[in-house]
Amino acid sequence: MKLLRYGDAGAERPGLLDAEGRVRDLSGHVTDIAGVALDPDALARLSALDPSTLPLVDGNPRIGPCVGGVGKFICIGLNFSDHAAETGAEVPSEPIIFMKATSAICGPNDDVLIPRGSEKTDWEVELGVVIGKTAKYVSEGEALGYVAGYCTVHDVSERAFQTERQGQWTKGKSADTFGPIGPWLVTKDEIADPQNLPMWLTVNGETMQNGSTRTMVYGVAHLVSYLSQFMSLRPGDIISTGTPPGVGLGMKPPRYLKSGDVVELGIEGLGTQTQNVRNDA
C-alpha cells in the first residue's frame, strides 16, 4: 500500500493511493496515518480494503507529510561510504546518531525555507524507515518485523550551523521545512529489498546525487536493531538512513541552495518530491 496524508498543513486527512494514482480517503477507517494505525494488524486491515469502495478525493490537494504525530526523527550520519569519502570523513566504526527536530517536518512539495543567517543550506536525499511497533533490544534478524514501511526523506542541512558552530549537528538539521517526508509511506511488503533502491536528486534540473542504498555502510535491519539498544523505537518514529555522494558540501568549490532554486528528488518505488527554495521571512 501507499499511504498518505492530504490537505492543509496541520489539518491533513488520511488517504491511500489507488492503482490508478488517485487519492482515496481513509477517514472512515483511521483517524490518521500515525501511531496505532501503523501496527501490523492495523495495516493488514487497511490492506484488506477494496480501494474502489473508498471515497475519491477530488482535485489536486496538497500532499502532507506521510506520517503524523512523529515522536522521534532519528538521523544517521556518514552512512554511505562514498559520501564519507567526498566529505573527507572516515567511515564510522559505529552508526553516527543525531536528531532532527520534528518541527522540521513538512510535506514533500512544500517550500524549503533558507533560515536567517544561512549561507550553506545543502541537500541530501535519504531513505526513511517508519517504525510500526515498539522495538526495544531487538536483534538484527527480527528488526525488519518492526518496520511499517519506507518513504523518501529530504534531510536538508545548514552546514555552517552543523559543523562550524559549537555543539551537536542537530542545530544544522532542524530549521523549519528541513524535513520533507513522503509523498507516501510505502508498506514494507511492496519493497523487496530496502538495500537495493536507486535514489537521486537534482537542483534546477541538474543531477547532483545519483546513488543507491546498496552503498549504505549500515543497513536498515542493523540500524533498527542498533538504535533499539539505546532507546525504544515507537510507532511513527522515523529513521533517516544517510545520503549518497553528491551533496553541495562535497563539491569543489562547495555549492549551496539559494532562493529561487528548485530541488527534485526521489527513491525508486517510494515516490518523488519537488521543492521551491526561498528565504525565510
**pLDDT tens, residue by residue, 162-204:** 988 877 889 999 999 999 999 999 999 999 999 999 999 999 9
Domain assignment present for 60: no
* Averaged pLDDT score across all residues of the chain: 95
Residue 22 has pLDDT above 80, yes or no: yes
Residue 225 has pLDDT above 90, yes or no: yes
User: Is the same domain home to 18 and 112?
Assistant: no
User: Is the same domain home to 122 and 34?
Assistant: no
Query: Is residue 122 packed enough to be buried (19+ CB in 10 Å), middle (13-18) or exposed (0-12)?
Result: buried
User: Is the same domain home to 49 and 82?
Assistant: no
154/132 Cα distance (integer angstroms): 21
92/79 Cα distance (integer angstroms): 8
The reported pLDDT for the residue numbered 168 is 80
Is 112 in contact with 279 (CB distance < 8 Å)?
A: no
Domain assignment present for 109: yes
**For 165-187, b where at least 16 C-beta lie within 10 A, e where not — what string?**
eeeebeebbbbebbbbbbbbbbb
Query: Is residue 269 packed enough to be buried (19+ CB in 10 Å), middle (13-18) or exposed (0-12)?
Result: middle
Of all residues in the chain, what percent carry a pLDDT higher than 70?
A: 99
User: Is the same domain home to 221 and 105?
Assistant: yes
Q: SS3 for 278?
A: strand
Domain assignment present for 65: no
In whole angstroms, how far apart are CA 220 and each of 95, 128, 217, 280? 11, 9, 10, 34
246/86 Cα distance (integer angstroms): 8
Render pLDDT for 245-275 as a digit per residue (tens, 0 to 9). Answer: 999 999 999 999 999 999 999 999 999 999 9
User: Is the same domain home to 20 and 151?
Assistant: no
87/84 Cα distance (integer angstroms): 5
273/263 Cα distance (integer angstroms): 8
Q: How many domains does the chain have?
A: 2
Domain assignment present for 167: yes
Closest C-alpha to 199, from 220, 213, 183: 213
The reported pLDDT for the residue numbered 175 is 97
Helix residue spans in 103-262 (DSSP H) = 159, 220-228
User: Is the same domain home to 47 and 121?
Assistant: no
Is 260 in contact with 126 (CB distance < 8 Å)?
A: no
**For 214-243, b where at least 16 C-beta lie within 10 A, e where not — what string?**
eebbbbbbebbbbbbeeeebbbbbbbbbbb
Q: What share of the chain is helix, strand, coil (3-state, %, to 5)?
A: 20, 30, 45
The reported pLDDT for the residue numbered 119 is 93
The reported pLDDT for the residue numbered 167 is 76
User: Is the same domain home to 49 and 187?
Assistant: no
User: Is the same domain home to 258 and 125?
Assistant: yes
The domain in which residue 237 lies consists of: 73-279
Phi, psi at 210, each rounded to 5°: -150, 85
The reported pLDDT for the residue numbered 81 is 77
Pairing mode of beta strands 13-17, 23-25: antiparallel
Render pLDDT for 80-121 as a digit per residue (tens, 0 to 9). Answer: 877 767 777 778 899 999 999 999 999 999 999 999 999 999
User: Is the same domain home to 40 and 10?
Assistant: yes
